[in-house]
Amino acid sequence: MLDARLGAVLGYVEGEVLLDVGSDHAHLPIEAVRQGKVSSAICGEVVEGPFKSTTRNIAAEGMTGQIEARFGSGLQVVSEGEIVDTVSICGMGGPLIAEILKEGLHRLANKPRLVLQANIHTYPIRKVLAGSGYRIIDETVIQDGHHFYEIIVAEAGEVEYDEQSLTFGPVLLEKREAAFIEKLQRELSHQEKILKNLLENSNDAKKIKEVSLKVEQLKEVLIK
């Protein structure tokens, strides 16, 4: 049984073969195969402990014929010319996901669907996607207590995004889901507290300007 975050990711998985990078015990691939979302899956792990856990879990579910664990970094676990239909990268920071894409997208000749779940800082992900021949087809925010997780779904296509779209998400800005608005409201409150403290206790003009800009950007989105 997947949590709400991975359950939402699973809803975007399609095709015959799933590649799950940083698989974390293979929970997503196991459920994807079990539910018939895909026929087979590849789990990529770069750390030995999680790799062994992934291998054990696959065997425990009797899925060694359908799910393969591979030890390697990012998209390097895919052979040149190998076809996968969906790539999922979940539970990491946005900059790390962006780096994985930047270093390995050239290996995915068929331009599979990308389902990317970032814990923080999604701007660099959107920047890399737009520069790599991918367009964002859907986005959502999953709230779990005080935590917010963004999911970005992208497919092959040329597109250009303005700074607001890169920062907040072109689809999120359009859909304006309750969790998205709540996330921005909390971030605005946080940035306003930082700005107040800076104005009262700091002479760092550069930092004050930077935080002031963040506050204005958040307010601009929220008042629409």
Asked if residue 119 lies in contact with residue 160, where contact means CB atoms within 8 angstroms, the answer is: no
CATH of the domain at 90: 3.40.50.150
Per-residue pLDDT of 164-193, as tens digits, reads: 999 999 999 999 999 999 999 999 999 999
Same domain, 148 and 212: no
Same domain, 205 and 159: no
Same domain, 189 and 83: no
Query: pLDDT confidence of 94, banded at 50, 70, 90?
Result: very high
Same domain, 128 and 203: no
pLDDT at 41 over 80: yes
Query: Is 93 among the domain residues?
Result: yes
Same domain, 188 and 138: no
DSSP secondary structure letters along 69-98? EEESSGGGGSPTT---SEEEEEEE-HHHHH
| Tokens encoding 147 | 């935590």
Query: Is 169 among the domain residues?
Result: no
Q: What is the per-residue pLDDT for 103?
A: 95
Spatial separation of the C-alpha atoms in residues 108 and 84, rounded to whole Å: 8
Q: What is the per-residue pLDDT for 25?
A: 87
Spatial separation of the C-alpha atoms in residues 163 and 169, rounded to whole Å: 9
Range of the domain at 190: 182-222
Helix or strand holding residue 34 (H, E): helix 27-34
Query: Is 146 among the domain residues?
Result: yes
Spatial separation of the C-alpha atoms in residues 116 and 139, rounded to whole Å: 9
Same domain, 151 and 217: no
| Tokens encoding 33 | 């195969």
Task: Report, in angstroms and rounded to the nearest whole number, the Rg of the chain calculated over CA atoms.
Answer: 19
b/e per residue, 27-55, with b = 16+ CB within 10 A?
A: bbbbbbbeeebbebbbbbbbeeebbebbb
Q: What is the per-residue pLDDT for 118?
A: 95
pLDDT at 6 over 80: yes
Same domain, 34 and 103: yes
Looking at the 3D structure of the chain, how many domains does it have?
A: 2
Q: How far apart are the first and last CA of the chain?
A: 38
List all residues 6 or more positions away from 81 whose beta carbon is below 8 Å from its beta carbon. Answer: 109
85-93 average pLDDT score: 96
